[in-house]
Amino acid sequence: MSKRINVPSLSTLMLQMPASVAMYDTEMNLISASNNWLSRYGFIEQEVIGKNFYSLFPIISEQWRSVHKRCLAGATEKKENDIFYMPDGTEEYVRWEITPWKQNDDAIGGIIVYSEIITKTETVRLSNLKLIRELNLLNEVGNVIYSTADDYDMIDDVCKKIIQLGGYQLVWFGFAPNPLHEKQLVFPMHKYGSALHYLDNFMIDLNNEVQKNGPTATALFTGKPQVINDFSKSLVFSPWLQNAISHNIHASISLPMNLVDGQKCVLCIYSDKPGVFDSQEIGILERLANKFAYALNAIKLRYDSKVAQIKQDKLIRDLSLRNRSLEDFTYLVSHNFRAKVADLLGVSTLITEHTLSETDAKELNGEVGRIAQKLDEVIRDLHNTLLVKGHALINIDSIDLSRMFLDLKQTFTNILPNTHINLITDFSHVNYLRTDRYYLFEACLQLMLNFVKNSDGKTHTQIKVSSNKTNNKVQLILEDQQYGFKLNDTEDSISAIYKKLYQHLTGGSIKLLYVKEIIENMGGVFSVNSKEEENIKFLIEFPDT
Amino acid sequence: MTEEYCFILIDDVAMNNLLSRYILKNNFPNSSIIEFTDPKLGLTYIEENCDNANSIHFITLLDIYMPVIDGWDFLDSYENFNDNIKKNCSIYVLSSSINKADSDKATANKNVNGYALKPLTDTLINAIVKEIENRKNLAGRNSKK
């Protein structure tokens, strides 16, 4: 036999409901409410039953009135975590559901409003989500840092990750002057985010009284992160408040970083929400900045080491080139002088120690004069070379090559009136060259004279000259009539040409050295292109300015 | 003694050959002296004449720095000649270069018997010939053993 249960009235049941529940009629008059609901709003049951919702809550938004209307018309509406801003400034998260109740005739008798404050659980949930987001950001930034070898790309990628995963509005990174002193500026070198225009013309003058007290300058000077969680409440930030608000940024953190050589840099992150930089977020971002600084240091050390290696290689290369140049110079001097001195010694020995026929004696006496003349020419060429060596030639001018070679031909004719030159020029690629005209003229003249001397007294000499532009260099190419030969890879081409082709000419080798010195002092390069069965080409190269 | 030698002068500067010729004539009046200003012609002469030289020994005085074919190229070509030619020839580099690298390179070549500085003198050519004779005598004694 079942025990009979006395069913309490609706009002009694409602009062005992373990949730915040209120029941209204179609006019939104309160029919019944739970104790939970009453105590939440500080109401006493007897005082509020029968009262209209809108008189109990006079400040209610139009949005809620619409919800009520829709539910009274039969709809059921709910929200899992609605946020309510309380009069004391706090936030409450509420799960609510509004559903119509029906009378016996199935007609809608009003609505039941169920609500549950879930602020505590929602706060924990949001906090967990935030932590996951921050750890994800930290992890992703770590991935970027360890997978990017170039500091420029790495900084760019870190800035992107901070925005994409951190959910911030804007980020920028900049280097500070080293050491921090007056008249120095800090400005964004890398930036990313949706409020980039906030950084238009943005720079921090560390000498400016106002700017040097701003959060970023303070972070750099103190070496500690500076957080402003609400710009509108910060006196320090007031000079930039209007600009920040107009770009929807409300909070910032400036994270200073120290690099190995004392270089300082800063990472500034901005949020569109006030108060986001709590202690947990600051801690995560500080760890991010430490990782970032570590990676920058590693890259910098790698870079410094590479630069040192490059400098060392260059030094060795320069020294070997200089050594080779000195060897060439020593060779040329010793060979040209020594050859003539050997000739003089030989003739002198014959004349003094041997009995010569009258014809032989006359011939050898003539040789003495010729040797002396050649020696004199060697000394003069050497003197010219030494004059040029090591002196900067700075009278830069725009040279019309066609015109210059016409002048050269005329000069040539004046020097060697009996030698006819067939000068073939092609300056269709480059007709103007910026360098010192006097010395370029001199270098070309010496080369052309060498060509003629080398033609073994032919009365007609053909000289081809052309210009070209390649690999950011302008080339002037002068072709000798002699066939070249295969050059040894380890041998300097000019040196080989001296020794092979021109050393037998009077002062010829010194003249090539003279041309080389002139061109190099003008900032150019003098080289030779020698191939078997092809004419030798002398190349004069200058950077294409 | 003097009839046993033929001197080959290879120098692109004719006057150097002229000076050497005077010295050689004075010291070895009965010897042949062949002059070349083109090393290629000198190589051809050696190839054609030194293989069956009978009792004549060829002494080549070779300059180093010459156009087109220099002394080093000459020695590279000479390396390909047969052993008989090499047995009948001695090569001395006669150069004005006081560069140690040149003398080292020359003396390091197994076909070069010596490096001498220009100009050629009586003392120098007699020392060269004396050195060749000593070498020949030594070779003769070794073959009898």
Domain-terminating residue out of A89, A117, A145: A117
* Residue scoring higher pLDDT (A478 or A127): A478
- Extended strands (E) in A162-277: 170-175, 185-186, 190-193, 204-205, 226-228, 251-258, 264-271
Q: Is A505 helix (H, G, I), strand (E, B) or coil?
A: coil
Q: How many CA atoms lie within 13 A of A520 on its CB side?
A: 17
Of A330, A343, A354, Cβ closest to residue B22 = A354
Q: Which residue in the set A334, A346, A367 is minimally distant from B99, CB to CB? A: A334
- Chain A residues closer than 8 Å to B117 by CB: 342
State the first-to-last Cα distance of chain A, in angstroms, to the nearest integer: 112
Asked if A330's CB is within 8 angstroms of B99's CB, the reply is: yes
Q: Residue B34: which pLDDT band, with cuts at 50, 70 and 90?
A: very high
CB-based contacts of B85, cutoff 8 Å, min separation 6:
B46, B47, B50, B51
> Which residue from B89, B118, B105 is spatially nearest to B18, judged by alpha carbons?
B118
Q: Per-residue pLDDT tens for A48-102?
A: 999 999 999 888 889 999 999 999 999 999 998 888 887 777 888 889 999 999 9
Model confidence at A503, pLDDT cuts 50, 70, 90, reads low
- Topology of the domain covering B2-144: Rossmann fold (3.40.50)
Residues of B within 8 A of A367 (CB-CB) are 15, 18
Q: B1 falls in which pLDDT band (50, 70, 90)? A: very low
Q: Which of B16, B21, B22 to mutate to test the interface with A (most CBs of A within 10 A)?
A: B22
Q: How far is A341 from chain B (nearest CA, A)?
A: 9
Q: Which two tokens stand for residue A543?
A: 């950077």
Q: B93 and chain A: CB distance < 8 Å anywhere?
A: no
- Do the domain assignments include residue A375? no
In this prediction, residue B15 carries a pLDDT of: 83
Domain that includes residue A39, residue range: 10-117
For residue B123, give Cα distances in angstroms to B24, B27, B47, B130.
11, 10, 29, 10
Contact A199, A240 (CB under 8 A): no
- Which CATH number does the domain housing residue A70 bear? 3.30.450.20
Residue % of chain A over a pLDDT of 90: 26
Q: What is the number of other CB atoms lying within 10 angstroms of the CB of residue A399?
A: 18
**Region for residue A279 given its phi and psi (left: phi exceeds 0; alpha: psi -120 to 50; beta: otherwise):** alpha
The more confident residue out of A363 and A7 is A363
Q: Is residue A383 part of a domain?
A: no
Q: Could you tell me the two tokens for A160?
A: 């992107």
* Facing B65 at nearest CB: one of A367, A485, A503: A503
Q: What is the pLDDT of residue A506?
A: 45
Q: Is residue A62 part of a domain?
A: yes
Question: In sequence order, what are the residues at sequence separation of 6 or more whose Cβ sits closer than 8 angstroms to the Cβ of residue A151?
Answer: A296, A299, A300, A303
The answer to whether residue A356 neighbours chain B at the CB level (below 8 Å) is yes
The per-residue pLDDT of chain A, averaged, comes to 83
Give a yes or no: residue A171 inside a domain: yes
Q: Does residue A313 form part of some domain?
A: no
pLDDT of residue A371: 85
CB-CB under 8 Å, A356 with B96: no
| pLDDT at position A464 over 70 | yes
Task: Report how far residue A272's alpha carbon sits from residue A195's, in angstroms, rounded to the nearest whole number.
Answer: 9
pLDDT, position B2: 42
Overall domain count for chain A? 3
Which residues are A99's β-sheet partners?
A112
- Is the per-residue pLDDT at A29 higher than 80? yes
Per-residue confidence band for A388, with pLDDT thresholds at 50, 70 and 90: confident
Do the Cβ atoms of A354 and B13 come within 8 Å?
no
Residues A396 and A424 in one domain: yes
Least confident of A232-236, A250-254, A502-506: A502-506
pLDDT of residue A505: 47
Q: Quick check: is A358 in a domain?
A: no
Query: Which of A84, A117, A150 marks a domain boundary?
Result: A117
Query: Same structural domain for residues A269 and A143?
Result: yes
Average pLDDT, chain B: 88
Q: Mark which residues 30-59 of B lie under 8 Å from A by CB.
A: none
Query: Chain B within 8 Å of A324 (Cβ-Cβ)?
Result: no
Location of structure tokens 């967990």 = A128
* pLDDT tens per residue across span A195-250: 999 998 888 888 888 888 999 999 998 999 999 999 999 988 999 999 999 999 99
- Cα separation, A392 vs A382, in Å, equals 18
Q: How confident is the model at residue A129 (pLDDT cuts 50, 70, 90)?
A: confident
Closest Cα in chain B, distance from residue A412 (Å): 25
What is the dihedral angle through the alpha carbons of A125, A127, A133, A134, rounded to the nearest 10 degrees? -160
Residues A81 and A162 in one domain: no
| Within-domain flag for A337 | no
**Mean pLDDT for the stretch of residues B121-144:** 84
pLDDT tier, B101 (very low <50, low <70, confident <90, very high otherwise):
confident
- Mean pLDDT score, A456-482: 81
Pairing of strands A251-258, A264-271: antiparallel
- Whether the CB-CB separation of A469 and A430 falls below 8 Å is answered with yes
Same structural domain for residues A58 and A175? no
Q: What is the pLDDT of residue A79?
A: 92
The answer as to whether A417 is a domain residue is yes
If asked whether residues A133 and A221 sit together in one domain, one would say yes
- Which pLDDT score is estimated for A508? 52
Do residue A100 and residue A161 come from a single domain?
A: no
Question: Model confidence over A308-339: pLDDT tens digits?
Answer: 888 888 888 878 777 777 776 776 676 777 88
| Domain residue extents for chain B | 2-144
Same domain, A226 and A106: no
Point out the domain boundary residue: A298, A320, A340.
A298
Q: Is the pLDDT of residue A522 over 60?
A: yes
Question: Which H or E element spans position B94?
Answer: strand B89-95
Q: Which residues of A touch B70 (CB under 8 A)?
A: 499-500
Query: In which band, very low, low, confident or very high, does the pLDDT at A504 lie, cut at 50, 70 and 90?
Result: very low
Please check the confidence at residue A393 and state whether its pLDDT lies above 60: no
Comparing CA positions, the residue from A394, A468, A461 lying closest to residue A421 is A461
pLDDT-derived band at A494 (thresholds 50, 70, 90) equals low
